[in-house]
Structure 1
Amino acid sequence: MNFILEELEELKAKHLYREIRELDYQDGTHASYRGKAMTLFCGNDYLGLSRHPRVKAAAIRAIEKMGVGAGAARLTSGSCPSHRKLEEKIAAHKGFDRALVYSAGYLANLGTLTAIADEKTEIIFDKLCHASLIDAVKLSGAAFRVFPHSDYDRCEELLAKSTATRKILLAESVFGMDGDVADLERLAEIKTKHNALLFVDDAHGTGVVKIPAMKKADIVTGTLSKAVGSIGGFAVASKDLADLILNRARPFMFATALPPMICEAAYEAFCVMEEEPALFQKLWSNIHAVYAELKKLGFELEAPQSAVLPVILGDEKKALDAFEQLLEQGIFVPAIRYPTVPKGKARLRITVSAAHTDADIQKLTEAMRKVKS
């Protein structure tokens, strides 16, 4: 069993070793770490809904009525009116016939893609797709080809060459490590021209970016753990396609259902999204403010397309050192390294929330000034 210690030492030597960091949260954007107060610019609670009074109240009411667990998988005795209500809300919110709710966003991608792809399928996907999509591709047994990030000419070339009886074009709406938005209009044109299904993961887009072409996809998956502020995942599709997924998606069939309290909280979060547009406006005001300050400091960033602002440093050790520098100043932005991002692309992944205050942004600015110097 010597390989265990050898591989751990190798990870440490390459500055790729990871460990759990425990934070004592005060609210969604502030916590203490190692006994020191921290302002967080690293989470995915983009609208601050995990702490919204209406969302918390909905969860508490559900706990009082139904307890904390679902008790079974959806297709045995785990489904209740809360699941149906949430699925109907998601389907309407996304503009599709039907939604299916999973226990996690990772499972939504894993279950949905493996339900519709097999050894007769070829999947064409963007190089920067999330690990859950890559794992799903490999588990499906389908042939697959990868195109360079956002290279739609190469994407179309690969799809045109495919002789598979079933073709799936796979992309993300917002790429979680780079924060850029896919050209779904172009992808929809390509999939129509070459008779393929378009599968889009909207994990980082839901509640943050409005993309009209999203409705041209055949399947859209997403998570309830980011802008929705909770936990779980979903897939939306036409009625018949959703029926097929329901009958074939193993994570849907065999995993215990989401607790009703989570369903009620997520339902309320979608209601808040639709009824309180000021949260969306505040998020984007904060995004532009953080971006402007980072540009003033001389950091190279593309204009923001989402709540993810990557500061690419390249070297893994350099990214880790920057993380430690920020910690000393009360800012928590962990270094993102391989295999989460490609080798040589280590970065500080700054994420912005509607819950951040002007004072939070000023504190981040001063801390990043010292990192730059």
Structure 2
Amino acid sequence: MRKIILLFAVGLLALASVLVFRTLQNGPAASSAPVRVPVEMIQVDAAQTAAHLSQAIRFKTISTQDRSQFDPAVFTAFQQWMAVSYPDFYAAVTTQTVLGSTQLNTWTGSNPALDPVVFLAHQDVVPADSSKNSGWEKPPFAGVIEDGFIWGRGAIDDKGSLIALLEAANVLAASGYQPERSILFAFGHDEEVGGSGAQSVAALLKSQNIHPWAVIDEGGAITTNMPDVAAPVARIGVAEKGYLTLILTARAKGGHSSTPPKITALGELSRAIAAVEAHPFEQKLDKVTRAMLRVTASADEIGFFKRLVVSNLWLFGGVVEAQMKQSNSGAAMLGTTIAPTIVHAGTKENALPREAQAYINFRLASRD
């Protein structure tokens, strides 16, 4: 019995030694501190920036699944406003229109031997219901500025990024700044429905044998209450999920709602949607999410206990996965997501639809 207890104690000590050793390997070290190069920060007018974003939101640059509803005149008006609002930027760049409404702006650098940097943003937004009981606290296309916030469709996705780029670049251009490396600003018009504008820009650059040194996109969400850092963290995206939308169609006999069949098209479609949602994809850590967590494990903001957990995912992986599943953003990092988004059926309340359709959007993890 004493030997068993001794062996157990030795094993426990060995385990603790391994855990602590791996944790210390990920700890912040003075020798690994990044070299900080002094950067002169530009100053922008915060009130003017907010006003510009508010004005940008008022342009209903909407992308819909039905491409016939696309209104190029709104995008033209928006781009005219951009040119008037940011005159120094547009005086410094060469502007091309790609695929009708996508804009490619090239700020030519002084050293043509250097590959350019590309900044991406998109002008379009998804539709928003402006009716009284739509759930919006403020009108979605009014650009209300209140209590330190700018309200409206596109304030984050993605006119916030678009205006930030324009504000910074306009200040630099007004100062006489000349980049050494060329800078390209690509502003897509249909990112929300497939991004054919961005694809056309990529094809154009390829045809001109232009190979970007870096491409900076709009970025992802700011996570909170994650296993590594509870505070808000702007994650660096190192991979992107795939995109797939499937359409489920159910058909049944039509007729009057007073004499419905046992199985209606809508009822059958509802059961199909429920069945899809009842079979989620596996949610687990993979090499990408593990690497992401390991990177933040060396940050000063991480306490020893959290660093120990994140540094030893071989043992605590299940605990970390359970915590990530507590939030929608955390769960989404663990695998493919399933989201029914659109349902079409019926045209009158007392008439049975012959057909019902549902759109189900999947964001595909690389392993799936």
TM-score w.r.t. the length of structure 2 is 0.23
TM-score w.r.t. the length of structure 1 is 0.23
Asked which structure has the greater CA Rg, the reply is 2
Higher relative contact order (CA 8 A, sep 6+): 1
